[in-house]
Structure 1
Amino acid sequence: MATTLYAIALGANRYGRHGRPSAAIVAALAAIGGVEAVSPIIASAPIGPSTRMFANAAALIRSDEPPPALLARLKAIERRMGRRPGIRWGARPIDLDIILWSGGPWRTRTLTIPHPAFRDRRFVLGPLARIAARWRDPISGLRVRHLLSQVDRRRPRT
C-alpha cells in the first residue's frame, strides 16, 4: 500500500504515566511515529461530564497502514498509556482519533473518516488549521480553515 497521510487529533486531561496532559501528547506522538507536522498544544474546555481542562493538538502522520490497522494501533497506544473504557467524554490520560486521511471518505461499522464530529469542534479544527488549513473535507468540500471560521461564527459572543 502507498504511504498515506493522516490527520490525527490528540487530547488529554488527566495526569497519567507520562505526567501532565501535554506530556502525554508528546509521548503519544513519539509512539505513533511518522510525524510530518504537529500543531501547538492548546487548552480547551471539556465536553460532557469531565471538569478538567484538556490539552489538545493535531498531527499529520505518514503511514502505509490502512485506516483499520492504524486505528487498532492508536487504540493500543491509548491502552499502553493508561486509557481504560469509562464514561463517555470523561477524564482520560490520552485520546487519539483519526480525523482525515488522504484516501477520502472511509466507513465501516467501527470507523468513520472523516471523524463524524470534527466539523463542530474548535479544539480539533483550531490545531488542525495550524498544520493543514488547506486540507479539504471530502464530504462538505470545505477546507479546514473554512470549517474553523464557521465554528467560530456559530459561537456566541460574550
Structure 2
Amino acid sequence: MHRVLLMLGSNAWDAPQALAEAQEVLNERVQIIRAGSIWQTPAWGFEGPDFLNQVLEAHWEGPLEALMAWALEVEKRLGRVRNPSATTYENRRMDIDLILWSGGEYRVDSVVVPHPRMEIRRFVLHPLAEHWGEWQHPIQKCTVSELLTRCSDENLIHLHQTTEN
C-alpha cells in the first residue's frame, strides 16, 4: 500500500461543496488519512475566479493508472467537462491531480509523478508544505518546503475563510 498526495481544486461558485463532495466520492475507493486546509489562490494560466485548493493524503493499493482513472471519474461525476480542443486552462468545478506518492518517480502512459509542474506552482507547494513539507521530490532531491522557498511564483495564497458560524 502506498501513500499518495492528491490536490483538489475548484473555482466554481460552490467550490467548498465541490471539495467536500470530491472527498466523499474519492473515499469510496481511496482511504483518505488526512485532509489539509482549504487555500484560496488566483486562477493560474488564465483569467477566472479564484480557486479553492486542498491536499488529501490517502492510502492507495493498486496501479497509479487506476487511481488516475478513478480521479477522472470523480471529476466527471462532479460536473467537470473536459474540452479536448482547449488550448489553455479553463474554469472547472473539480480538478484532481496526483502530486506525489511514496513510491518515488513514476512515468507510465499519461501518469507522471511527481506532477511535472509542481515546483513552479505556489498554489501546489504552499498547501503541500502545511503538513507534508518534509516529503522529498524524487527528481529535484529536496523537500517540498525547500521547493517552496525557491519558487518564483509570486501569487498570493491564503487560508480560505468560511462564512459559516
TM-score normalized by the length of structure 2? 0.85
In structure 2, the partner of 1:25 is: 19
In structure 2, the partner of 1:7 is: 5
Identity of aligned residues (%): 30
The answer to whether the 8 A contact 1:50-1:89 is kept is no
Q: Give 1:14's aligned amino acid.
A: A
The answer to whether the 8 A contact 1:38-1:131 is kept is no
In structure 2, the partner of 1:150 is: 150
Gaps of 5+ in 2: 156-165
In structure 1, the partner of 2:45 is: 48
Q: Structure 1: how far apart are the matches of 2:67 and 2:153? A: 33
**Deviating runs (4+, > 4 A) in structure 1?**
none
> CA 1:156/1:120 → structure 2, altered by over 3 Å: closer, same or farther?
closer
Q: Give 2:139's aligned amino acid.
A: I
> CA 1:121/1:69 → structure 2, altered by over 3 Å: closer, same or farther?
same
Matched position secondary structure for 1:93: coil
Q: Give 1:38's aligned amino acid.
A: A
The answer to whether the 8 A contact 2:120-2:153 is kept is no
TM-score normalized by the length of structure 1? 0.89
Match for residue 79 of structure 1 among 76, 80, 105: 76
In structure 1, the partner of 2:58 is: 61
- What is the number of residues matched between the two proteins? 149
Q: Give 1:28's aligned amino acid.
A: A
Q: Structure 1: how far apart are the matches of 2:47 and 2:12? A: 10
Gaps of 5+ in 1: none
Answer 1 or 2: which has greater strand percent. Answer: 2
Question: Aligned Cα RMSD in Å?
Answer: 1.5
